[in-house]
Structure 1
């Protein structure tokens, strides 16, 4: 018996040594096809396009402390990486996707068309509407084959500017006028997505709007203190609830073969971190790390503004008045790529990438019943879901 025990012990030691000598390494992009990533939208996805459109030769986003976490102020509104950077990393795209307006950019594995201040409606100054971004994509589409475009990923996040500008200009708009404006925004978004499908795009990731009333810049502008500005939150929710059904219609349309999509509930992910910030190890969720004012919401990166800068940006949900810290952006990217269906559905981004090209979807978007259900104030309903 003793000899048998000794033999088992020796075999166990040898097994452990073998595992450590030949570790199993899972690389980014493993099991994912070599496809491109195309991003459209506003400053949340802007890889640096605004720098090429701005009359300001030294815009804030190219100055420290932007890029602080990586010692690289590179034109992005973050202390480091933004969501598309992490998605590109997961897809094994070297160096992420470049801005479309950068001369001689290597666009082999995709490109960013997103521009700061972009909107769905209107004519933004020194920026591009979503339809203009789609037109830019069309102008350089010869860089990729039609088959490659069909297999590649198209990510969209836009709408913040539309609703911030609308409420600024129409603070007393009644519910009917608000609904009409939301409908006009969604109608144009539908048209722009249809234009992308006409150019061959088939795999879409649409990120829902954040709770806009909880942005530090909104809290500061509307003097809400620790509260969110619920009028803007309501508009964001009205917008968001129309996205899933719209994409379901595209997927079920006989006119568009093989349309595939997923929806990321960015609103839900941010509101959880706003209301239960310590569950996610964010110690400040109502003010930003960099800026001036009651919520440090203005002036980050501007050379003529003596901005405050927090000691440790990873403890903040927001880095500046509108944009999340790199830590939060990384969390969002992980939720996008492989998360619980409560926050991204009907597929994760990884599932969407590997889903057979041209095949009809078997699952579709459904309302998030848990998020929609009304709860008593005493219920700590977020504590059970701190994983996302």
Structure 2
């Protein structure tokens, strides 16, 4: 499963709840024969929150993923569109081609390098981490698929980190060193985004870490009725360090190259708004933090069937009323609401300063 807080995280919950906060506190544009001198391009790096089809062996290629849009599985970890689709629409371009399809598709709108389950470092899922994803862009520039001018007029989207925390907790069996891990993680993220800028991209949007204590795989311990606020402290610390780092990077280059997208508060605000609009009786029967595609027990088995073809998951009646699609990923409705919250920040991506 892609971008997930592994089930093995749950045994550490009691320890986390009793750990002090201080311990926790991360010219011509040519693309494969297509010439376009005006279109902005979008280059996407990250994990399943922005992957649009690179994880070819994932559940995202099985029903019911994609049931809302386009009506069939489309390699997205949602019932429909994901964050990168909405960012592309904001830029008034088509969604960039997944890197896995680069030899058979038009690349005039950019490329999506994101891969479900990966991170800044190596994680629990095999796939290209962020460094490898940037290597792929650099190779395309060296091959003259994209020119320096292409990159200078384009935008990069970076959404990554959640899987790094999962891998850290699983591999280390401890949360006591999570603060130092956050610093190491963001130091490498800083190196990565500077590298994207050095390749020529002058606008780079970096997503803050979502409130991991609100993900259904965690809120199962509250019967999906409430977020685990102490777990959200990990996200808060990560975001504080990242915001300071981005400020320093912009000061170094002397302009606003790096823009942050506040996924943390966009998630919380959307969840709160949807809860307030939800019928009280429905809230008890189908709490908002419960995924629409609900797996068996603690497993994120959305899209999984057994040897007899029997589904190992159940679906809610109205995906459009759900914020979460599965145990980790927002629904199309959820992402649309988050995107609405982010639009004021997205305006900076088209600012020439």
The match for 1:42 is: 47
What 5-or-longer segments of structure 1 have no aligned partner?
A: 1-32, 340-347, 360-388
Instruction: Report the CA distance shift for 1:273/1:91 in structure 2 as closer, same or farther (over 3 A).
Output: closer
CA distance in 2, matches of 1:206, 1:280: 30
| Match of residue 265, structure 1, among 262, 280, 285 | 262
The match for 2:120 is: 120
CA distance in 1, matches of 2:305, 2:166: 26
CA distance in 1, matches of 2:133, 2:277: 35
Instruction: Report the CA distance shift for 1:126/1:233 in structure 2 as closer, same or farther (over 3 A).
Output: same
User: TM-score normalised to the size of structure 1?
Assistant: 0.72
| Match of residue 329, structure 2, among 298, 312, 323 | 323
Contact 1:167/1:232, CA 8 A, preserved across alignment: no
| Match of residue 277, structure 1, among 274, 278, 282 | 274
The match for 2:295 is: 292
The match for 2:205 is: 205
Say whether residues 1:241 and 2:209 are aligned partners: no
Contact 2:55/2:115, CA 8 A, preserved across alignment: yes
The match for 2:157 is: 155
Offset of residue 123 of structure 1? 5.2
The match for 1:78 is: 78
The match for 1:303 is: 305
Contact 1:50/1:126, CA 8 A, preserved across alignment: no
Q: Secondary structure at the match of 1:69?
A: coil
CA distance in 1, matches of 2:348, 2:235: 27
| Match of residue 349, structure 1, among 338, 346, 350 | 346
Offset of residue 271 of structure 1? 1.8
Offset of residue 228 of structure 1? 2.9
Structure showing greater radius of gyration is 1
The match for 1:65 is: 64
Q: Secondary structure at the match of 1:140?
A: helix
Instruction: Report the CA distance shift for 1:216/1:243 in structure 2 as closer, same or farther (over 3 A).
Output: same
Offset of residue 43 of structure 1? 0.3
Contact 1:97/1:109, CA 8 A, preserved across alignment: yes
CA distance in 2, matches of 1:258, 1:143: 28
CA distance in 2, matches of 1:179, 1:189: 15
Give the structure, 1 or 2, with the largest relative contact order (CA under 8 Å, sep 6 or more): 2
Please, which moves more after superposition, 198-207 or 284-293? 284-293
1:360-371 paired onto structure 2 within 5 Å: none
Say whether residues 1:111 and 2:111 are aligned partners: yes
Offset of residue 215 of structure 1? 0.6
User: TM-score normalised to the size of structure 2?
Assistant: 0.79
Offset of residue 121 of structure 1? 1.7
Contact 2:51/2:114, CA 8 A, preserved across alignment: yes
The match for 1:183 is: 183
Contact 2:209/2:264, CA 8 A, preserved across alignment: yes
| Cα displacement string for residues 150-175 of structure 1 (whole angstroms, at most 9, x for unaligned residues) | 1211111100111122233445432x
Instruction: Report the CA distance shift for 1:125/1:319 in structure 2 as closer, same or farther (over 3 A).
Output: closer
CA distance in 1, matches of 2:150, 2:184: 32
Q: Secondary structure at the match of 1:120?
A: coil
Instruction: Report the CA distance shift for 1:230/1:80 in structure 2 as closer, same or farther (over 3 A).
Output: same
Contact 1:60/1:303, CA 8 A, preserved across alignment: no
Say whether residues 1:333 and 2:339 are aligned partners: yes
Q: Secondary structure at the match of 1:155?
A: strand
Say whether residues 1:252 and 2:251 are aligned partners: yes
* Aligned residue pairs, count: 301
Q: Secondary structure at the match of 2:60?
A: helix
| Cα displacement string for residues 137-196 of structure 1 (whole angstroms, at most 9, x for unaligned residues) | 11112222212211211111100111122233445432xx12111111111101111111
